[in-house]
Amino acid sequence: MATAQFDRSSGILLHPTSLPNSGGIGTLGKEAYDFIDFLVTAKQSLWQICPLGPTGYGDSPYQCFSAYAGNPYLIDLEELRKQGLLTSLELEPLKKLPTNFVDFGALIPLKMNILLKAYGRFLGIFRKSDTACRVKKAQFEHFQKKEAYWLDDYSLFMVLKDQFGGESWDKWPQEYRTRDVSTLEGVRKEKTREIGFHEFLQFIFFGQWRALRNYANTHGVKIIGDMPIFIAYDSADSWSRPEVFLFDSQGRPTHVAGVPPDYFSATGQLWGNPLYNWDYLEKTGFRWWIDVLKNKLTFYDYLRIDHFRGFSAYWKITYGETTAINGEWVTAPGKKLFAAVKGELGNPPIIAEDLGVITPDVKELIEYCDFPGMKILQFAFDSGEDNDHLPHTAVPNSLMYTGTHDNNTIHGWFAQAPEQDKEMARRYLKIQRTSNLHWDFVQGVMASVSVFAITPVQDLLGLGPEARFNFPGTLGKNWTWRMKKSALTANLGRRLADLTELYGRF
């Protein structure tokens, strides 16, 4: 049964980068607040997002420069303009960027240059003596001290990445790669302003995020956050804490993460993330994991952990392999980890992404943790295998989705599905018109026994494969989709609200 903190409800999956505005990327600004207002009107209680970290190679929110930091590209510049840190003229270059997709290559240098100007003005307030300026300075200094346990290494890491032309840290000169104490102290003294810039970005990001989440919570909307089980190799975490990972003496991975051939890829998925040194983690009482989870749970109401099965066993691939085919399953101490987590954090509101190759040991771990898992309605009609993704066969302690950020849209899936799968979907969901089938799928997840029903906004809007957010195992054009400004209409909200009431999710 679902635990008490998971009450029967429903919501929408929409990553903030996909929100509409004229600034080249969705932000934590007005459009995010408007989206929450739509959720309230549509009687939705949940907003699910992808990870909010600073994106690196491939612009994936699942490959971030830090397990802790926020993505500065999501900062609302209009709010900084209102605070006097920017001018309207300085925001003009971003208005020339496309509005129907995120052009990361053009966006990043433009936005970072604008944020640098805001930082210069922010430093100016430190020289003023009025009360408002003193308060702002005190807030910033409090943030620096409170978050120093991750912020110090992250800010230094980002400054060094800039210094070495964006190169991955394993390509830096040895004294920087191996964190020579005197070398790093020299950088801290010489580049105080540059380090402060990255601290400023985090201060602004988390200030805006807290305000947005507070607005959601006070309007009855809870946030489902997300985190990848593995961190990116090119990250402040792997650079500053190499002992946590399976690295050789030069700081390079001996083995990397991925998954074997599956629904998404015939050669598996070679993620390339470093694997954990579970022996070290267990000896230290899983301190690293407990600290990360404690941090994440302060920013979200619920936390989905991607690839949860990796806590039971993970796919271990020798570094240098070109595909994920030649790997092996290796056991991980998941029960010991979550016993330690629960011992310190109580019963955390964690959601286990339990898709893919799910073996009895994985099911045993999830039952031991009593975390809700995931069901995908698209998978329910796969005639090639038995599954428990049908609305009536799912367990209550689960989340039912029409699809996830990795799936094709409903209309895209249906167009490509084998005829026998289409026929089963037609019979089960009583589909009358193909043009309207996304509503049949939405109604299917709403009617399910699962405690949460989640619909990606692309499916709510009935969009085709052009709106797919990510195609696993590929690079290019992923994570770029954006919603049109006028997409979420009042009629759409009313129709969703009616279904929500009908199936007891409000």
For residue 445, is it within any domain? yes
For residue 2, is it within any domain? no
- Tell me the HSE value of 492 on the side-chain side, using a 13 A CA sphere: 17
Which residue out of 147, 234, 237, 306 is catalytically annotated? 306
For residue 442, is it within any domain? yes
Average of per-residue pLDDT across 194-212: 98
Average of per-residue pLDDT across 170-188: 96
Cβ 396 vs Cβ 451: under 8 Å: yes
User: pLDDT for 55-111, tens place per residue?
Assistant: 988 999 999 999 999 999 999 999 999 999 999 999 999 999 999 999 999 999 999
Can you give the pLDDT at residue 400? Answer: 98
Can you give the pLDDT at residue 2? Answer: 44
The rounded distance, in Å, linking the Cα atoms of 415 and 264 is: 17
Cβ 454 vs Cβ 48: under 8 Å: yes
Can you give the pLDDT at residue 76? Answer: 98
Can you give the pLDDT at residue 147? Answer: 98
**What DSSP state is assigned to residue 109?**
H
For residue 204, is it within any domain? yes
Radius of gyration of the chain, Cα coordinates, nearest whole angstrom: 23
Query: What are the tokens at 25?
Result: 């990327």
Which residue out of 59, 353, 354, 421 is catalytically annotated? 353
Can you give the pLDDT at residue 472? Answer: 86
User: pLDDT for 119-171, tens place per residue?
Assistant: 999 999 877 778 888 899 999 999 999 999 999 999 999 999 999 999 999 99
Q: Is 445 exposed, middle or buried (0-12, 13-18, 19+ CB in 10 A)?
A: buried
Q: Residue 353's domain spans which residues?
A: 9-502
For residue 141, is it within any domain? yes
Cα four-point dihedral sign 114, 117, 121, 126: positive
Helix 30-41 × helix 490-502 angle, to 10°:
50
Q: What is the DSSP string of 143-187?
A: HHHHTHHHHHHHHHHHHHHHHTTT--GGGS-HHHHTT-HHHHHHH
Can you give the pLDDT at residue 5? Answer: 83
Q: How confident is the model at residue 329 (pLDDT cuts 50, 70, 90)?
A: very high
User: pLDDT for 379-403, tens place per residue?
Assistant: 999 876 677 899 999 999 999 999 9
The rounded distance, in Å, linking the Cα atoms of 362 and 470 is: 25
Q: Which residues of 90-109 are buried (b: 16+ CB within 10 A; e: fewer)?
A: bbeebeebeeeebebeebbe
CA angle centred on 14, ends 216 and 233, rounded to 5° = 105
Cβ 372 vs Cβ 2: under 8 Å: yes
Strand order of the sheet with strand 255-259? 269-274, 255-259, 313-318, 327-331
Three-state secondary-structure class, residue 250: coil
User: pLDDT for 447-506, tens place per residue?
Assistant: 999 999 999 999 999 999 999 999 987 888 899 999 999 999 999 999 999 999 999 999
Can you give the pLDDT at residue 385? Answer: 65
The rounded distance, in Å, linking the Cα atoms of 505 and 489 is: 21
Q: How confident is the model at residue 191 (pLDDT cuts 50, 70, 90)?
A: very high
Q: What is the DSSP string of 427-492?
A: HHHT---GGGHHHHHHHHHHHSSSSEEEEEHHHHTT--GGG----TT--SSTT-B---TT-S-HHH
For residue 4, pLDDT over 60 is answered with no
Can you give the pLDDT at residue 1? Answer: 38
How many folded domains does the chain comprise?
Answer: 1
* Nearest in space to 493 (alpha carbons), one of 20, 27, 16, 44: 44
Average of per-residue pLDDT across 435-456: 97
For residue 3, is it within any domain? no
What's the pTM?
0.96
For residue 1, is it within any domain? no
Confirm whether 306 is a catalytic residue: yes
Helix, strand and coil content of the chain, in percent to the nearest 5, comes to: 45, 15, 40
Which residue out of 76, 199, 406, 440 is catalytically annotated? 406
Can you give the pLDDT at residue 383? Answer: 73
The rounded distance, in Å, linking the Cα atoms of 31 and 95 is: 15
Q: How confident is the model at residue 249 (pLDDT cuts 50, 70, 90)?
A: confident
Can you give the pLDDT at residue 489? Answer: 98
- What are phi and psi for residue 473, nearest 5 degrees? 85, 5
Can you give the pLDDT at residue 356? Answer: 80
The rounded distance, in Å, linking the Cα atoms of 81 and 145 is: 26
Cβ 31 vs Cβ 20: under 8 Å: yes
For residue 342, is it within any domain? yes
Compute how many other C-beta atoms are within 10 angstroms of the C-beta atom of residue 276: 23
SS (H, E, C) 257-295: EEECCCCCCCCCEEEEEECECHHHHHHCCCHHHHHHHHH
Whole-number mean pLDDT of the chain?
A: 95
Q: What is the DSSP string of 347-404?
A: S--EEE---SS--HHHHHHHHHHT--EEEEHHHHT-TTS--S-STTTS-SSEEEES--
Check residues 132 and 350 and name the one with the higher pLDDT.
Answer: 350
CATH classification at residue 459? 3.20.20.80
